[in-house]
Amino acid sequence: LQQQINSLLERKNRIPEELVNARKRLTELLDIPEAELPFAGELIKVTPAEQKWEEAIERLLHNFSMQLLVPEKNIKAVNHFIYNNDMRTKLVYQKIENKAVQPIRWSTDDNDLVSKLEFKESAYKDWMETTLLERFNYYCTDDLNVFYGSKKAITPNGLIRNVNRHEKDDRPGKWH
């Protein structure tokens, strides 16, 4: 427990230590700069003006945030290494293709989830924004009537609607 506390204090994010260690093994043994293998969660954050949404958005994006982003030029080496080694954790990673991606902005509503996020300047910025718009185009509302009328919606207390699937995770200590 003390090791986990020390690890969290030394880092600027909440990526679990076992994932950080898995990336460290990859970067050291394959001689890839850590900046080339970021976790998605290291590249986004809720804007300071939208802090009431932070916990709900973090819950919604949790699994996505834990994904390692691997550029196309490194995917074979990473696959080979992971295939041949016990990573000691569940590691989900995305191949990021070289082709240029222009973010598709079909909505500019301030209540869209993506409008509540800041993107770190990186080679992955456009890919991140486009992927979040495609997969997480949730409407942020605390009005249940708006929630009921939306295909994808989220409330500040974490109630999520994705068409007919509804979810709320109130497990204590899970998100802090």
Helices 17-30 and 2-10: crossing angle, nearest 10°?
A: 60
CA angle 112, 65, 33 (to 5 degrees): 125
Q: How confident is the model at residue 9 (pLDDT cuts 50, 70, 90)?
A: low
pLDDT at residue 25 tops 80: yes
* Two structure tokens written together for 72: 């196309």
75-98: per-residue pLDDT in tens? Answer: 999 999 999 999 999 999 999 998
Q: pTM for the full model?
A: 0.86
Q: Virtual CA dihedral for 142, 143, 148, 150, nearest 10 degrees?
A: -70
